[in-house]
Amino acid sequence: MTTAVHKVRSHYDEVAEVYDHRYDANRGKFYYNNISHHVMERFQKGGRLLDLGCGTGLFVRHYVNEGGEAVGIDISRGMIGKASDKCGSSDFTIGTAEVLPFRDGSFDAVSSLLSFSYLKHPEKTLAETYRVLRPGGSIAICTLGINLFTRGLPAIYHISEAMNLKKACFGAFGERYYSVEEMEQLLYEAGFIEVHGKRCSFAHYNLARPIYDIAKKIEPFVERNIPYLAYNICASGRKTFEEGTESPKKLEI
Ligand SMILES: C[S@@+](CC[C@H](N)C(=O)[O-])C[C@H]1O[C@@H](n2cnc3c(N)ncnc32)[C@H](O)[C@@H]1O
């Protein structure tokens, strides 16, 4: 395990106990429901899901509540512990999303919410995802995109770390923020078809209250008309039924 991965794992072990607090209250709940909705709409309900970087199991719980079955994998033992407490009927594995300990074709859907930015070898994860999906299965990833606001984040993280504000803010983990085009390219290269990426969520829970209130009101407008300002990217694709029989067309959603 590299130092960077070790650092991410230790951070999430440390914050596991309090992680859900950010999504319990109004702002966080609204934000998380919004991104869960964007991911969920890429899947058929009632399948078997693998959630990569599942954390405390927030999306696993969402998927199961929608009538599916779900399994989670995460590098942090602390986060997995919280997920197991929360979602007793689901299975959780401690491990990296870059090497998946699951059989070929064993899932209908693979998700990743707010964890893809940590991956040092995203192409490895996507190759593994392709392998564990059944033919016709879907992937949907929600990850912080690069935009006007997120460009400054690495600097803020470095400063907060230097000031020992790790718990209040995040540490500097060398996270990677993608453009929609980069996410789509990665999915195409992994062999997915019906690839579609779009920006979502403008009302980020970290915004100061008055700004957040305005952001929440104009979120649908921003998502539709000024997507570059939205914080996250939701990118999805589908595994072919048979190699070479379907073209890598772009899906209109
Ligand atoms: C911001 S949290 C998101 C957790 C959860 N997906 C959610 O939506 O609340 C990021 C998670 O990614 C996990 N993570 C980071 N790198 C990982 C890797 N290489 N493999 C698996 N999990 C990873 C962390 O341990 C952490 O639980």
Other beta carbons within 10 angstroms of residue 193's beta carbon come to 18
Residue 188 placed within a domain = yes
Mutate to test the pocket of ligand 1, among 18, 118, 141 (most ligand atoms within 8 A of CB): 118
Q: Please give the distance, rounded to the nearest whole angstrom, from the Cα atom of residue 142 to the centre of ligand 1.
A: 12
Mutate to test the pocket of ligand 1, among 1, 75, 82 (most ligand atoms within 8 A of CB): 75
Task: Identify whether the C-beta of residue 192 lies closer than 8 Å to the C-beta of residue 200.
Answer: no
Residue 28 placed within a domain = yes
| 30-85: pLDDT as tens digits | 889 999 999 999 999 999 999 999 999 999 999 999 999 999 999 999 999 999 99
Residue 244 placed within a domain = no
User: What's the domain range around 209?
Assistant: 3-238
Q: Is the CB of 78 under 6 A from ligand 1?
A: no
Residue 177 placed within a domain = yes
Residue 246 placed within a domain = no
The whole-number average pLDDT for the span 195-210 is: 84
Q: Is the CB of 75 under 6 A from ligand 1?
A: yes
**Crossing angle between the packed helical segments 209-225 and 26-40, to the nearest 10 degrees:** 20
Residue 18 placed within a domain = yes
Residue 209 placed within a domain = yes
Q: Is the CB of 54 under 6 A from ligand 1?
A: yes
Count the domains in the chain.
1
Of residues 2 and 146, the one with the higher pLDDT is 146
How far the first Cα of the chain sits from its last, in Å, is 39
Q: Which of 54-58, 132-136, 146-150 has the lowest mean pLDDT?
A: 146-150
Nearest CA to ligand 1 atom 18: 96
* Secondary structure class of 243 (helix, strand, coil): coil
Nearest partner of 107 among 43, 193, 185, judged by Cα: 43
249 dihedral zone (left: phi>0; alpha: psi -120 to 50; beta): beta
What CATH number has the domain bearing residue 132?
Answer: 3.40.50.150
Please give the model's pTM, rounded to 2 decimal places: 0.89
Residue 250 placed within a domain = no
The whole-number average pLDDT for the span 177-206 is: 92
What percent of the chain lies above the pLDDT cut of 90? 62
